[in-house]
Structure 1
C-alpha cells in the first residue's frame, strides 16, 4: 500500500511563477498610499535640509538660517548660498528625474535590471561633451551641460529609430538591443577621443564620477522646464504602462495605442535622463535600485509608482551626497562613488532577500 503523500507547505499566493511573500507590513502601507506619499515628501524635505546644514565645513544652524534669510556677505553665507543650496537643488532635480526615468524604462522594457542608461542616453551625453571639449575647447560644467543634453537627445532618437525600424515597430526587445548597440558604439568613440586629448580626458573623468558640486545655480532655470515636461509626460504615460503590463493585446482591447504609449514613454525617459546626466554626470545606479524600493511601497500601479520613485530618488541622492561629505572630512567623496558604495551591497542584499519584483 502506497503511503499518502505528505502535504507540501506553501506560502499564501505562491505557485508557478509567483514571487516570494512580501513583508507583512507592505500590504498595509499600500492601503494608505496618500499617507505614505506625504511621508516621503517630508523625508525628501528632511534630506534637503540636511544637505544645506551638513558639510565639510561646520556652519551652525543659526548661521545657515541667517545666510538664507538675512545674508550679510560673510564667508558662511557664501558657503551656504553659493555651494550648498545649488548642490541641494541639483540633487532634487537629478534624483527625481532619474528615479522616475528608472521606473519608466523598467516598465517599458519589462526588465527589472534595466536602468535609464539602457537607451544610450548616458553615453550620448558623454560623447557630446567629450567631442565639444576636443573640438571647441569647451570647459566647465555650466557650458558643456548643454552639449551633453543635446547628445543625450540625439542618442535616444537614434535608438528609437533603430528599434522601431522593423515591421512590428518599437518593442521592448528591439529597443533594448538598439540601446545596447548604440551604447557600445558611443562608448568606443568616447574611449578613443579621450586618449588623444588630456582636456577631454579630464572632462570625461569628472563627469563619469558623478557629482552635485561645482554647478552654478544659474543653469538650473534652463534645465528645470525639461524635467517638468518629462514628469508631465511620465504621468500621462502611467495608464498606458498599466495596460501594457497586462499584455499588448489586452492594452489594444482597452483602447490604448501601443505606438503612442511607447513614444510618450521614450520621450519622457529621454528628457528626464538627458537632463540629469548632462547636469550631474553618470548616476545610473539610482535609476536601477529606486524603482524596486518604490514598487515595494506603492505596488505595481504606475500612477503611484512614478511619484514614489521620484521622491525616493531625490532622497537617496541627497543622502548619499551628505554621507560623502561626512565620511571623508575635511575632503569629500563624489556622490557617484557614494551611490556605488551604499547601493551596490544594498542591491545584492535585496536580490538575496527577495527576487526582483516581476514586471
Structure 2
C-alpha cells in the first residue's frame, strides 16, 4: 500500500470531523436564533444573560419561560425525526422511507383523537401519553402483519404493511372527527405540527423515551451498514437480520413516538435530513447518524424562527414551514451526484 493510498482515509476522516464541527456550530446558531427572534426581538447579549443569569425583566421572562422550552422541544424533536428517518431508510433499504412509513404518525394521531373524544383530555401534556401509545401499537401491528408468512418482515412487506396501516388509521381518525365537531376543533391545532406552547413538562415527559431511542440507534449503527449490503451479505457477516430489523424498527418507533407526541406530525424532516447528511459525510452510519442528529434540529428550529416573523403577529406552524422551505432544498440535494452515488 502506497503512502498516497494511506493518506486518503486520513483526509476523508478529517473532512468528516470538520463537517461534524460545522454542523455543531450551525446547530448552536439555530438555537441562539430561536432564543432571540420572535414577535419580541431580543439581542444576543440579552438572550445569553437571561439564559445564564436569569433576571426579572420582560426579556428574561420571554427567554426563560417561553423560548427555552420551545427551543429544547425543537432540539429533541429534530434529533428524533432525523435519526428515525435514517434508521427507517437503513432497515428498509428504501431511499424515500420516513418515520411515518410504519403507520407510526397515524397511530399517534389516532391516540390523540381518542384521548379527546373518549378520555376527556384537552391539554398538550395529556396528549403525549396517548400519542406515544398509539404510535407504539401501530408499529407493533405493522411488524406483526409484515412478519407473518414466508420470508418474515422483508423491506417490501414492511412498506406495504405500513401503507395499509396508514390508510386504515387515517380512515379511523377521519371517522371520529367527522362525527364529533369538538374533537375536530381541538385536533386540528395538534395535527398541523408545532413546537409552540410546549412547556418544560412536555420535555420532561419525553426525554426518557428519547434516551432509549438514542441507545437503540447507537447499538444499530454497524448493523445498518451490513444491511445496506443486502440480507445475504449481512447474514454472511454474522448478523441476525430479523433481530436487526426488529431493533431498528423499535428504535425508529420510539423516536418517532417522541417527536409526534411532543409536536404533532411534522413532515419532511425525517425524509430529508438523512439525505442531506449522506451527501455530506457518506453512507457509513457511524458518521451519518451523528450528522443527521445535528442537522435535524436545524431543520426544525430555523423554519420555526422564520414562521414566527413571516406574518406578524401571527405565526406559521413549523409543520408548514418545514415543507415550504425544505422541499426545494431536498430537490437540489437529490440532483447532486453525491446523493445519486449514495
TM class, shorter-chain normalised?
Answer: over 0.9
Q: TM-score, normalised by structure 1?
A: 0.88
Q: Distance in 1 between matches of 2:100 and 2:11?
A: 34
Q: Distance in 1 between matches of 2:73 and 2:184?
A: 24
Counterparts in 2 of 1:62 and 1:299: CA distance versus 1, 3 Å: closer
Q: Distance in 2 between matches of 1:342 and 1:29?
A: 31
Q: Distance in 1 between matches of 2:45 and 2:227?
A: 52
Checking the alignment, whether the CA contact within 8 Å between 1:128 and 1:150 is kept in structure 2 is yes
Alignment of 1:3-22 (within 5 A): none
Which residue is equivalent to 2:229?
246
Indicate which of 139, 142, 153 corresponds to 2:136: 153
Q: Distance in 1 between matches of 2:54 and 2:37?
A: 18
Structure 1 counterpart SS, 2:218: helix
Indicate which of 176, 180, 190 corresponds to 1:207: 190
Q: Distance in 1 between matches of 2:98 and 2:298?
A: 18
Checking the alignment, whether the CA contact within 8 Å between 1:68 and 1:80 is kept in structure 2 is yes
Which residue is equivalent to 2:30?
47
Checking the alignment, whether the CA contact within 8 Å between 1:40 and 1:311 is kept in structure 2 is yes
Q: CA deviation at 1:273?
A: 0.5
Q: TM-score, normalised by structure 2?
A: 0.93
Which residue is equivalent to 1:128?
111
Q: Per residue, is there more helix in 1 or in 2? A: 2
User: Are positions 1:292 and 2:292 aligned together?
Assistant: no
Q: Distance in 2 between matches of 1:59 and 1:41?
A: 23
Q: Which runs of 5+ in 2 are unaligned?
A: 1-9
CA radius of gyration, larger in: 1
Q: CA deviation at 1:352?
A: 4.3
Q: 1:5-50 deviations in whole A, cap 9, x for unaligned?
A: xxxxxxxxxxxxxxxxxxxxxx976652122212211211111111
Q: Distance in 2 between matches of 1:349 and 1:35?
A: 23
Q: Which runs of 5+ in 1 are unaligned?
A: 1-26
Alignment of 1:52-131 (within 5 A): 52-131=35-114
Q: Distance in 2 between matches of 1:253 and 1:351?
A: 32
Alignment of 1:240-279 (within 5 A): 240-279=223-262
Q: CA deviation at 1:304?
A: 1.1
Q: CA deviation at 1:223?
A: 0.8
Q: Distance in 2 between matches of 1:197 and 1:230?
A: 35
Checking the alignment, whether the CA contact within 8 Å between 2:23 and 2:294 is kept in structure 1 is yes
